[in-house]
A and B are shown apart, each in its own frame.
Chain A
Amino acid sequence: MKITNDNAKELRNDFPIFKRKINGKPLIYLDNAATTQKPQRVLDAIQRFYEQHNANIHRGVYQLSEEATEQYGRAHAVVGKFLGANANEIIFTRNTTESLNLLAYTVHAIMPKRKHIVLTELEHHSNLVPWQQFAKRHNMSIVFIPMKKDFTLDYDAAEKLIGGDTAILSVGHVSNALGSINDVKKLVSMGKNAGAITIVDGAQGAAHVPVNVKDINCDFYACSAHKLFGPTGIGALYGRKELLEKLPPFLFGGDMIKTVSYQDATWNDVPMKFEAGTGAIADAIGFAEAIAFIQTIGLENIAAWERELTQYALKKLRLPGITLLHGHDSAGIISFICEEIHAHDVASLVSDDGVCIRGGHHCAMPLMGKLGIPGTCRISFSVYNSFEDIDQLISSLAKIQHMFKEGGKT
Chain B
Amino acid sequence: MEAHEMYREHILDLYKHPHNFGTLKAATNTHREFNPLCGDDVTMDVIVEDGKIRDIKFHGKGCAISMAAASLVTDAVKGKPIAEVKRMSKEDLLNLLHIPVGPVRLKCALLALDTLHKSIGDAK
Nearest B residue to A375 by beta-carbon distance? B39
Q: Tell me the A331-359 residues at the B interface (CB within 8 Å).
A: 341-345, 348-349, 351-352, 359
Nearest B residue to A362 by beta-carbon distance? B39
Q: Tell me the B17-49 residues at the A interface (CB within 8 Å).
A: 17, 36-41
Contacts of B83 in A (CB 8 A): none
CA distance A344 to B6 in the complex (A): 13
CA distance A375 to B40 in the complex (A): 9
Q: Tell me the A388-405 residues at the B interface (CB within 8 Å).
A: 403-404
The answer to whether A374 touches B4, judged by C-beta atoms less than 8 angstroms apart, is no
Asked if A320 lies at the interface with its beta carbon under 8 angstroms from chain B, I say no
**0 or 1 for each of B61-76: is its CB under 8 Å from A? (1 = yes):** 1111100000000000
Contacts of A403 in B (CB 8 A): 4, 7, 12
Asked if A365 lies at the interface with its beta carbon under 8 angstroms from chain B, I say yes
Contacts of A348 in B (CB 8 A): 3, 6, 63, 105
Nearest A residue to B61 by beta-carbon distance? A374
The answer to whether B7 touches A342, judged by C-beta atoms less than 8 angstroms apart, is no
Contacts of B11 in A (CB 8 A): 408
Asked if A360 lies at the interface with its beta carbon under 8 angstroms from chain B, I say yes
Contacts of B4 in A (CB 8 A): 349, 352, 403
Asked if A361 lies at the interface with its beta carbon under 8 angstroms from chain B, I say yes
The answer to whether B15 touches A352, judged by C-beta atoms less than 8 angstroms apart, is no
Known: A349-B4, A360-B39, A375-B39. A342 touches B9 (CB 8 A): no
Known: A344-B108, A348-B3, A348-B6. A408 touches B15 (CB 8 A): yes
Asked if A410 lies at the interface with its beta carbon under 8 angstroms from chain B, I say yes
The answer to whether A408 touches B9, judged by C-beta atoms less than 8 angstroms apart, is yes
Q: In the complex, how many residues of chain B place their beta carbon closer than 8 angstroms to a beta carbon of chain A?
A: 27
Q: Tell me the A1-41 residues at the B interface (CB within 8 Å).
A: 23
Nearest A residue to B108 by beta-carbon distance? A344
Asked if B92 lies at the interface with its beta carbon under 8 angstroms from chain A, I say no
Contacts of A409 in B (CB 8 A): 13
The answer to whether A349 touches B3, judged by C-beta atoms less than 8 angstroms apart, is yes
Known: A352-B2, A410-B13. A345 touches B39 (CB 8 A): no
Known: A343-B38, A349-B3. A407 touches B9 (CB 8 A): yes
Asked if B80 lies at the interface with its beta carbon under 8 angstroms from chain A, I say no
The answer to whether B40 touches A374, judged by C-beta atoms less than 8 angstroms apart, is yes
The answer to whether B38 touches A375, judged by C-beta atoms less than 8 angstroms apart, is yes
Nearest A residue to B60 by beta-carbon distance? A374
Asked if B16 lies at the interface with its beta carbon under 8 angstroms from chain A, I say yes
Given A342-B38, A403-B4; 9 other pairs, CB 8 A cutoff: A343-B39, A348-B6, A352-B3, A365-B39, A374-B41, A404-B64, A407-B7, A408-B11, A408-B17
Which 10 A-B pairs have CB atoms at the shortest separation, nearest pair first?
A408-B12, A408-B13, A407-B12, A374-B39, A342-B63, A344-B38, A344-B63, A348-B3, A375-B39, A360-B38
- A interface, CB within 8 angstroms of B: 23, 341-345, 348-349, 351-352, 359-361, 365, 368, 374-375, 403-404, 407-410
19 contacts between A and B (CB under 8 A): A23-B2, A342-B61, A342-B62, A343-B39, A343-B63, A344-B105, A345-B64, A348-B63, A351-B3, A360-B37, A374-B40, A374-B61, A375-B38, A375-B39, A403-B7, A404-B12, A408-B10, A408-B11, A409-B13
